[in-house]
Amino acid sequence: MLLLPLLFSSHLCQAEAASEAAVKVAFLYNFFKFIEWPESATAQNRYTLCLSSHTDFGDHLLMLEGKTVNGKPLDIVRNISAKDLKSCHLIFIDTADNPGDYARELKGSPVVSVSDKSGFINQGGTIGLIQDGNRLSFEINLETANAGNTRISAQLLKLAKNILAGK
């Protein structure tokens, strides 16, 4: 009973939000390691992680500065505009930005869409981040990935909490 007020303190809530943001950023970086894009998307000399307009991971994105993926540098583009979406390899879409609209816009393209909106993979998104008890997990829409000619490694598929394989 003595700990109950502590659980509701704003300081603790901020710390949890910060650590959740750090975990999400780590997930995004690691997704790059287990996804293979078609040659047309990898012809560039770098990979691009895009963030929708409302996404705020704070300083946690700084840990990705200077990182490489498969020997290529990783660029981060914040507040990506609709016309530039297809220049991304992977995009994190904040729930405030209506992730289903982004997923429909990207349908059939080799851009991997990720969101933490509930039911995102059922709206055509590629990867949905979900709470699994007190842990963050993910689910994958394999049909969407295949439609964009992106290959998700078997290792990543094994770790997914749920896989939507399509028809």
* CATH number, domain with residue 104: 3.40.50
Separation between Cα atoms, residue 93 and residue 115, nearest integer Å = 5
d(CA 41, CA 20): 30
SS3 string, 89-101, reads: CEEEECHHHCHHH
Domain extent at residue 55:
4-164
Is 94 in contact with 54 (CB distance < 8 Å)?
A: yes
pTM of the model: 0.86
- Dump pLDDT digits (tens) for 114-149: 999 999 999 999 999 999 888 999 999 999 999 999
What is the tally of structural domains in the chain?
Answer: 1
pLDDT band for 33, please (50, 70, 90 cuts). Answer: very high
Note the maximum CA span of the chain.
59
- Summarize pLDDT for 56-85 with one digit per residue, the tens: 888 888 888 889 998 899 999 999 887 888
Look at strands 35-36 and 151-152 and give their pairing: antiparallel
